[in-house]
Amino acid sequence: MSFVSEVMDQVIAKNPSEPEFHQAVEEVVSSLALVIERHPEFRAAKIIERIVEPERVIMFRIPWVDDQGDVHVNRGFRIEMNSAIGPYKGGLRFHPSVNLGILKFLAFEQVFKNSLTTLPMGGGKGGSDFDPKGKSDNEVMRFCQAFMSEIYRHVGQFTDVPAGDIGVGGREIGYLFGYYKKIVNEFTGVLTGKGLNWGGSLIRPEATGYGAVYFAAEMLSTRGETLEGKTCLVSGSGNVAQFTTEKVLDLGGKVVTLSDSSGYIYDPDGIDREKLNYVMDLKNIRRGRIKEYVEKYKSATYFASDPGLDHNPLWNHKADCAFPSATQNEINGKDAQNLIDNGIYVISEGANMPTTPDGVDLFLENKVLYGPGKAANAGGVAVSGLEMTQNSMRLSWSREEVDNKLHQIMKSIHKACVEASDTYGTPGNYVNGANIAGFLKVARAMMDQGIV
């Protein structure tokens, strides 16, 4: 039996009904087959068997009361996946689709991503099946307090430092931090993505989107090209999508799509800065739907999501680059083929695991410049790491300083991916490059620290 099927059989048997976790593990382990051949010591120390097993899983009840006085019960999670190179670090996701398997896939990806950033951070992820949509600010606050009233005993600046993800932005981080400070009676950097007046870092909100665009620019530079004049498809309209659009504009490109879970807009004239400001206000302040965009801008068309379709029409427009920035598995095999047929040759993943395995295979076969999420979207957690550094030093860096550091980190992640994929005989394959480079640092640390 091959190394990959042996590991996968065990993972599937031990973690039934967690397809996203299986998918994430299989992709990484397939890349690592190349490494294991050259490093039998990792095999003997059961590094792979240990790295796929979370160090700790915390799962808890979250009861809270809505504005009408009705009681609700949600489920909360924190997956503490690996702490070989630093405290657990990774976001919190509040979305009705959240379950144990999804958070385990995200925590697993986070281990390799955090290693790639060059900063000392282990991997974790958490969240709840709570849906913030349609809730009042007071309801969101009460929910965040109920969440923190359990999780406070497991997190801490030297132990586990959560951040935002889908459904958890500045508002939620504020409520979570306020409650932690109250019950622990300590002002420490227990969360990242904090407000600027109370320990946050400049550029943290922008970091994931900016980083995904810097990564695309690095990939393009291997072919002597830039983003100037390139047409780009972006999905999502949340944090990552907004700042991806902003950086594409800065670098001279044009974004023609944005979406939310109800549908997408196509604006062939491009989403310029004024239109982007409108989207930011719509999504971050008014908490509206993307379809309102076409009422304001007549050049655009709105397409409602159609669950009966076997593909997402957002990915079926002529363009040069794509930045999936909504959620996992939003590009399937058919979408990948559509992207290729439409001339797209750069894909930089702002979202985590947005492409299904058959889609990834198509990108690799067709020599698309394909930057997988764990490399391309690592800018967010990298600036979270920089926020932790600033908190420890009790000072704040300027916007330019943080942005320069982010840019350098994205360049070094790109270089690490290129070097690892070359060294292991698959040049141009950023999937292998990211998995191998991310893995080696963690594996060596685990070897140094003994069987724990």
At 212, which helix (H) or strand (E)? helix 204-221
Provide the sign of the torsion angle of the four alpha carbons 280, 284, 286, 289, taken in this order. positive
Least gap, CB of 81 to ligand NDP (angstroms) = 15
Q: What is the DSSP string of 165-195?
A: BTTB-HHHHHHHHHHHHHHHT-----SSS--
Q: Contact residues for ligand NDP (CB under 6 A)?
A: 95, 97, 164-167, 169, 208, 236-241, 260-262, 325-327, 350-352, 377, 380
138 versus 262: smaller Cβ distance to ligand NDP = 262
57 versus 280: smaller Cβ distance to ligand NDP = 280
* Residue 247 is among the residues annotated as catalytic for this protein: no
Both tokens assigned to 316 = 């079926």
Q: Which of 125, 230, 283, 334 is catalytic?
A: 125
145 versus 377: smaller Cβ distance to ligand NDP = 377
* 48-85 residues labelled b (16+ CB within 10 A) or e (exposed): beebbebbebbebebebeeeeeeeeebebbbbbbbbbb
48 versus 237: smaller Cβ distance to ligand NDP = 237
Least gap, CB of 373 to ligand NDP (angstroms) = 7
Q: Helix, strand, coil shares of the chain as percentages rounded to 5?
A: 50, 15, 35
Residue type, position 353, single letter? M
380 versus 385: smaller Cβ distance to ligand NDP = 380
Task: Report the residue number whose CB is nearest to ligand NDP.
Answer: 238
Least gap, CB of 151 to ligand NDP (angstroms) = 19
What Cα–Cα distance (Å) separates residue 117 from each residue in 199, 221, 405?
21, 20, 11
Please give the radius of gyration of the chain, using alpha carbons only, rounded to the nearest integer: 21
Q: Which of 433, 167, 208, 213 is nearest to 323 (CA)?
A: 213
d(CA 223, CA 166): 33
Least gap, CB of 213 to ligand NDP (angstroms) = 13
Catalytically annotated residues: 125
